[in-house]
Structure 1
Amino acid sequence: MTNAVPGDGLPRVAILFHRFGPYHISRLNAATRYMAVIGIEFSGADRTYAWNDVGCDANLFPRWVVSPDIEAEHVPTMIRKVSEALDRAAPDAVAIAGWSHPGALAALLWCARRRIPAIVMSDSAEIDENRRSWREAIKRRIVALFGAGLVAGGPHRRYLMALGMNNALIRDGLDVVDNDHFAAGAIAARADAKALREGLGLPRPYFLTSCRFVAKKNLFALLAAYRRYRAMAASSAWDLVLVGDGPLVAELRAAISGHGLESCVHLPGFRQYEELPRYYGLASAFILPSTSEQWGLVVNEAMAAGLPVLVSTRCGCAEDLVRAGVNGYPFNPFNVTELSEVMQSVASANVDREAMGKAGQVTIAEWSTDRFGRELRVAVDGALASPRRAPDRIGRWLAMLLLCRTERTDG
């Protein structure tokens, strides 16, 4: 891939994420239909997600990396490297994932100094955590430095508005996946179901959960609800497959054993992007029980694959994607009884799960990678059309103060 940016006559937009996984690549590729994209990764390494590196051959845009491991950089060096990358890109506008990471703050300050419009890409919502008034006051000053926003959905739009952004400058469609990848993969898996089940060691039928094994995913409550469901369903009970890995894996195995569920709860481990559609395709329903989830892209994946979805009301996607009794059921993640009952409901012989899955596919078709590109372009146009006023000095000062605080903390 050369450094030449295609798209004559289109705005040049630098789009910044921490590290590109397959989800980011598909979104940015779609965005090239609407703007001249320069993709910038803050870091070549990610200490949270174990996705394989997506090679540059998959890109329809130039792709640059600020640092091999940005978490290891001292703040002055990181600011210099971010600034150099943006100077090289020479964008008309910059889309930045979030406002809290030091790299995002460095990019925002670069935009403020050069009066280049910045678009915040955010899936933060009011319910994500306990909000403190003094922190929210700081965020309002930071958000005031952005010219527009691209958010995940309804709860995220309301939160950005609460932080002071004009609703007319906010678009949604940030958290999308390549629906075709999961739909086609699920169809292929179902066409070869018997051989795949044997090869992957998967039961029939089963509930599927795919996530990192960390506390907020609420997997211990899921196990308790599943045990209760099995008691109600008796011999017709489905199995449970937990795809993923993480620091709680040993405790989960112990809990599975403690509940006496070793024969019906399966842990196939972490699976790469290209493997996931098989697990969706062979499943009968999907569950995301998180107590806190900014969106929940796995719900998009499951819906694209044609599955009914059981989604915690604490997941950011629940409001926009889940319709009770139509494509699945929302539930209170703190109520084990309620979760067990929606499991029983979706597994009932009286429920048309195929119709639910098709209804979900209709809904998720509106949340495509094309939507990301199209709505980001509208946000870019809105930011470019807004008057270029001098950026808020207090906001710039606070952003720099947060960067310096990061340096003291990391040091």
Structure 2
Amino acid sequence: MNAQIESSAIAPEAPAARSDAERRRGSRAASVGEWLAATRDAVQMLGLSAALWMLYVPHHVVLRSLGPRWGMVWVRCAANMHWLLTFVGAQRSARGAIAAMRPYFECRDSVSQILRRHLLLKHECFARVRVYSLHAADGRESDMQWHCGPESTAALPTGERQRGLVIVGFHFNFFQTFAAGLAKFFPGEDLVQLRYRTSRCVESATSPIVQLALKKAMEADRRAGANVFYIDDVEAIIQLYRLLRHKGAVAVTADGGAAGEFVDVPFFDGTLRVPSGWAKLAAGTKSDVLLICDKELSANSREGLFYNHVACRENTDEAAYRAIAQAIRVLEDRIKEEPWGWHPWQRLRVDVGADGVRRYSLKQYGFDEGTRLQKQARKPEPQTLDASAADRHSCSTAAGQTVERRIAVVANSLPPYRVQLHEELVNSYPQIELWSLTTHSNAYRRWGGLQPPKAIRHVEFGQGEPTNEQPLMRYSLREWRKAGRIIRWLKEQRIDAVLVQGCGDMGRMRIIRWCKANGVECFLTGDFNICSDHHHAPKRWLKRLVYQRAVQWSSGLMPCGQHGLALLHRYGGQAKPAFMFPFAPDVRLFSDPSTESIEAARARFALDPARRRIVYSARLMNAKRPDLAVRAFVEIAGLRPDWDLVMIGDGPLRHEVQALVPGHWKSRVIWTGFLNSVDELAGLYAQCDILLLPSDHEPWGVVVVEAAAAGLAIVASDKVGAAPELVHHGINGAVFKAGDLRLLKESLLAVTAPEHCDAYKKESARIFRNWSRENDAATNFGKALRIAINDQAAAAKRVEETTSACVDDDRRKICVTS
């Protein structure tokens, strides 16, 4: 009995003893790991310092001994030698960063060419600023001369300022010359350059070469006569506030790496962590903000670029975030144009989060990543959701109603009609958690001000990558890697159903295949069109291979219309469940446009209410055939004297197509350019009678849906994806063979005949009503995913509203009711 008691009392102590031993072993292992890591860092620092001493000090001595004239020749030689070393490992970080960002650049230079120009610029900048001080613009022949472009002159403040001025620059091109160069544009001003923690960096830098470099930078500031303000403590900040409140001017960089507070703002395909202090400084002192940058005119001449569109007057985090985001957008545009001009490529670091967002930051001399950030980066109102935002959205959904399913829609971009569709899905099915993933940005930079609402949970994986690059073979690796980020995100968010728009690139095929392998429902959506399925042998074989597997791996098909369904059936989709999922705008705006939008369009384009109009609404590019539209109208204009042509859209063919209009018909052709506002577009449609879409290639054609909702007669080519559904030949318009000018002329003459046009317009409203009742995207979405639509009565009312076509009598439109 006693033995049993003793054994039972001792037994529980054994696991504790074992756990103590394990903790001791773990502690020893951690200590060894820390020692190895510290040793590795010390060796790396020693090697780097030795290499920099061997390069930096002799280079500096040679430059001082050669003088400015021959020193600049030596600089170019040294830069080229440095560039050759990049092929054996030098500047590895810079090369990798440039290679990763190259798809966003507007120049056609290779990575090596960009890196060479980058190194030439940095070496020249070092010599001019740090060694010779050839940037004071005092009239010497070798000085850097500054000019101001005519477009930038208006941004410069004139007269006596009433507030302080924060001049915000970037580490771009000859950014070190700003203080000297700005003196030319601000005569009499005592400009102050801000340096954050520079002296403290010198004291705490672990590397002697970093100490030397920073000391030389401070000496260069003194030689240049620059009034430099070193921000190292609270007292310095107080003095700075006093300076600005007394209408002083200070210059600071917006993309620095050392600061007390940081914020993550949109930057290419992710976010960039940058200081937020300058924006809060401007807000706290009610100062004006002037952005500055520069570009090369010649070897010794630079053009200053000035921007005054940024303001930060409210002392809130949101106002600071908006100002900083606008400033970094200017930097992003400059990098796209001159990528070699951005200095911090070597210090650029990237971390891909669990949400797929790439977060960039700049490593700063004298600080490691752990100590230089005193606060967590703030992102008050991001354009794309981060992980914390995802949690907030998930909680809000779960708080209101139990989440039945988590569904992701993978699309290339979010134009207005897709945003409207996703909002409709969210409103119809509050029990689901819908995520809108985009893989690219709009190819033509349209709808620049459109911000997706929070309700559709937008996550962007390809900011800055145009959609027209998606199917190109040379971007296959990029799309494959992007799909990997999306898949990781799908796993972490526990998504159980995915709608994938298209299957024509490696990335989408990888996502579809992953869904099949992991039991995640995957539906193929998109504007497929069998009319464009005519390819030569190699491409035809490859497309068959890809599409057959995509259809086989999918759970169901959700094309826009009959042409798309026919294409997917061709590649083995006959046995798959199919649900029509058409792209459509907010048709209520077109069926019942506001009086204000109608009057605004009439006034803006000087439209005579007594005349009738044919409207072309598409981008002016070869596939849309705007030339065919203009040629056909010119040939029938004499027979239809009361008709005009309205050309909505813009594009590369605009000047060429405008030249097709003879001088005596120019007053009858109205060119509107691209219309960014849907309300404005609906107001213009309300004053037209016929939509003309003569495309040689048109996968779907949202404009056809818009025109039908507006009650217009429609003339479209047989390649238009929406034509089988919404254009009934001889009933509400005409369908002609693509590219046939003679048939197009005959179709226009038939539809514009007085006895036909109004009848065709009435039929368009009826056809649209019937089609939308049977092909409602929200209803079919629920059928495909087996979820019940919320509030059947409200849904029926919504369908009825979207299928009505009402037009005022003074615009020759008739109200059609159910």
- For normalisation by structure 1, the TM-score amounts to 0.82
Alpha-carbon separation, structure 2, partners of 1:286 and 1:187: 21
Q: CA 1:75–1:208 in structure 2 vs 1: closer, same or farther (change >3 Å)?
A: closer
Counterpart of 1:60 in structure 2 is 455
Shift of 1:127: 1.3
Structure 1 residue 371 displacement after superposition: 1.4
Q: Does 1:21 align with 2:411?
A: no
Partner of 1:91: 495
1:300-343 Cα shifts (integer Å, max 9, x gaps): 00111111111111111111111123222222232212212222
1:172 is paired with a residue whose SS is: coil
Native 8 Å contact 1:43 1:69 kept in 2: no
Q: Which residue matches 2:579?
A: 171
The verdict on how the C-alpha distance between 1:44 and 1:142 changes in structure 2, with shifts beyond 3 A counting, is closer
SS at match of 1:240: strand
* Percent identical: 21
Q: Give 1:318's aligned residue.
A: 723
- For residue 69 of structure 1, what is the aligned residue in structure 2? 464
Shift of 1:19: 1.4
Show the counterpart of 1:48. Answer: 444
SS at match of 1:341: helix
Check 1:27–1:267 CA distance in 2 against 1; reply closer, same or farther (3 A cut).
Answer: same
Q: Deviations over 1:351-402 (max 9, x none)?
A: 251x4323222322333798112212322349xxxxxxxxxxxxxxxxxxxx
Name the structure 2 match of 1:338. 743
Question: Residue type matched to 1:55 in 2?
Answer: Q
1:293 Cα shift?
A: 0.9
Provide closer, same or farther for how the CA distance between residues 23 and 88 of structure 1 changes in structure 2, counting only shifts above 3 A.
farther
User: Where does structure 1 lack aligned partners over 5 or more consecutive residues?
Assistant: 383-411
Q: Is 2:665 the counterpart of 1:280?
A: no
Against the structure 1 CA distance between its residues 324 and 14, is the aligned structure 2 distance closer, same or farther, given a 3 Å change threshold?
A: same
Task: State the shift of 1:96 in Å.
Answer: 0.6
- Show the counterpart of 1:248: 653
175-184 vs 4-13, which moves further: 4-13
Q: Does 1:147 align with 2:528?
A: no
AA of the residue aligned to 1:210: S
What residue number does 1:134 align with? Answer: 541
Change (3 A) 1:321 1:196: closer
- What letter matches 1:197 in structure 2? R
> Per-residue CA shift, 1:249-296, capped at 9, x if unaligned?
121122225x75322212110001332101101112111111121111
Deviations 1:203-254 (A, max 9, x none): 5321101101111111212222112211333x33x11111001111121122
Are positions 1:185 and 2:613 aligned together? no
**Deviations 1:56-108, CA, capped at 9 Å, x for gaps:** 44x53322222323569934641332123322432221001000144423422
Q: CA separation in 2, counterparts of 1:107 and 1:137? A: 16
Counterpart position of 2:146 = none
Query: Larger C-alpha radius of gyration, 1 or 2?
Result: 2
8 A contact 1:28–1:37 mirrored in 2: no
Q: Provide the C-alpha distance between the structure 1 equivalents of 2:547 and 2:577, rounded to a whole number of angstroms.
A: 17
Q: 1:3 to 1:306 in 2, by over 3 A?
A: same
Q: Is the contact made by 2:562 and 2:725 (CA closer than 8 Å) also made in structure 1?
A: yes
The DSSP-based 3-state class of the residue aligned with 2:772 is coil
Does 1:290 pair with 2:695?
yes
Higher relative contact order (CA 8 A, sep 6+): 1
Amino acid at match of 2:528: S
Could you tell me how far apart the structure 2 residues matched to 1:11 and 1:303 are? 34
Pair 1:307 & 2:703 matched: no
Show the 5 A alignment for 1:211-290: 211-233=618-640, 235-236=641-642, 238-257=643-662, 261-272=665-676, 273-290=678-695
Which residue of 1 is the match for residue 792 of structure 2? none
Alpha carbons of structure 1 residues 37 and 214: separation in structure 2 relative to 1, 3 Å: farther
| Correspondent of 1:115 among 502, 512, 519 | 519
Distance 1:93 1:369, change over 3 A: farther
Q: Which residue of 2 is the match for residue 385 of structure 1?
A: none
Instruction: Identify which of 555, 564, 569 aligns with 1:156.
Output: 564
Amino acid at match of 1:293: E
Taking only aligned residues, the RMSD between alpha carbons, in angstroms, comes to 2.7
Q: What amino acid is the match of 2:581? A: G
The range that moved more, 143-152 or 83-92, is: 83-92
Which segment is superposed worse, 66-75 or 219-228?
A: 66-75
Structure 2 CA distance for partners of 1:307 and 1:178, relative to 1, 3 Å: same
Q: Structure 2 length normalisation: TM-score?
A: 0.43
Q: Which residue does the alignment assign to 1:36?
A: 432
> In structure 2, what residue type is equivalent to 1:24?
R
Q: Which amino acid aligns with 1:201?
A: A
Q: Choose the corresponding residue for 1:11, options 398, 405, 418.
A: 405
**3-state SS of paired residue (2:697):** coil
Q: 1:200 to 1:310 in 2, by over 3 A?
A: same
> 1:22: how far off?
1.2
Alignment of 1:356-375 (within 5 A): 356-365=760-769, 366-367=771-772, 371-375=776-780
How far apart in 1 are the matches of 2:410 and 2:514? 13
Equivalent position SS for 1:170 = coil
**Could you tell me whether the CA contact under 8 Å between 1:322 and 1:328 is conserved in 2?**
yes
Tell which deviates more after alignment, 263-272 or 372-381: 372-381
Amino acid at match of 1:373: A
Aligned length: 374
Question: Which stretch has the larger CA shift, 98-107 or 312-321?
Answer: 98-107
